[in-house]
Amino acid sequence: MVAATADGTVVDGARWVPCVNRAWQCNWMVAEDDERAFCFSCRLTRRRPPADDTLALERLAETAAAKRRLLFQLTRLSLPIEPWDEVDGGLGFDLLSSLSEGKPIITGHANGIITIDLVESLDAQREALRVQLDEPYRTMLGHFRHEVGHYYEWVLVEQGPWIEECRALFGDERASYADALARHYKLGAPDNWAESFISEYATMHPWEDFAECFAHYLHITDTLDTIAISGMVLHADRVEGAIPHDITPRRSYADATIEEVLEDWRWVSLLLNRANHAMGKGDLYPFTIASPVKRKLGFVHRVVRSAGADGTSEQLS
């Protein structure tokens, strides 16, 4: 993090200037000699509301903050980010408002493009849908992480060496999505869904199961990273209640097993839940990780580590 000034900031000998979208709360910068004037995050936005729709643009400003957090984490994990305007099927974002368009905007992923309905940045709208769909957790960042999970399954799994193992764990993604969608909204999730899935929505189709697990992996690793940066350590001899040893969250779990990731996360999430209870709120982390889900998260962990080992991620510049 550096202080941005109007006339530019020098970082490692190069001068950087604020993104042209600074007025819309973008706090990233762009190289002074870059004629595009937009930062890396803003360049990935393919479509946005019209310039005269100031209400939608206010929602865009809030939503773009979640997008920047997503991109920062993807880069920290060394996942490949190939822009939509440079590579066919590259990553891009259509950030649109169903109110502006006058028709429903369907949040989803197709051929590298992630579409987000900005209306969901309204707390009342998002909370109403969360209750209607009986979801324990629903945020804009969660939407981004879920949809980018679809993107990376398409790029890294379906077009890579992981597809057969993925089908063995999550099911055959070639099954009719339309039929699965209709069945899910007619019958709902099976009664015993929590024994094998991270969420009810994950039961709908193998694509959704992978995307939900990918998003969950990002939730866990980003929270552990944030706590590691803060320097917080759980000391076994100082924590009320039995923990087996000191818990020291890491800045990177690239060399860790999924068991090590989830061991740290188990105790950290319990602390966060207790902190939420102290504020009179429900669990911050309202999920249970069953053994089949652990295996799925382990698969995601190995896919992410393998992609990072290729050194194919692009810098945020």
Strand ranges, E, within 160-284: none
- State residue 131's pLDDT score: 47
> Considering only 6-10, 76-80, 104-108, 142-146, which range has the smallest mean pLDDT?
6-10
Average pLDDT over residues 257-263: 97
Q: Which residue has the higher pLDDT, 207 or 315?
A: 207
The rounded distance, in Å, linking the Cα atoms of 214 and 210 is 6
Average pLDDT over residues 54-59: 79
CB 93 within 8 A of CB 34: no
Going by pLDDT thresholds of 50, 70 and 90, the confidence category of residue 122 is low
Q: What is the pLDDT of residues 216-256, one digit of tens each?
A: 999 999 999 999 999 999 999 888 777 889 999 999 999 99
- State residue 158's pLDDT score: 94
Smallest CA-to-CA distance from 122 within 66, 170, 62 is with: 62
Q: In this model, does residue 44 exceed pLDDT 70?
A: yes
Q: Is 125 helix (H, G, I), strand (E, B) or coil?
A: helix
Smallest CA-to-CA distance from 181 within 155, 207, 163 is with: 207
Percent share of the chain, pLDDT over 70: 91
Q: In this model, does residue 312 exceed pLDDT 50?
A: no
The rounded distance, in Å, linking the Cα atoms of 107 and 201 is 14
Global pTM value: 0.91
> Considering only 100-109, 129-138, 206-215, which range has the smallest mean pLDDT?
129-138
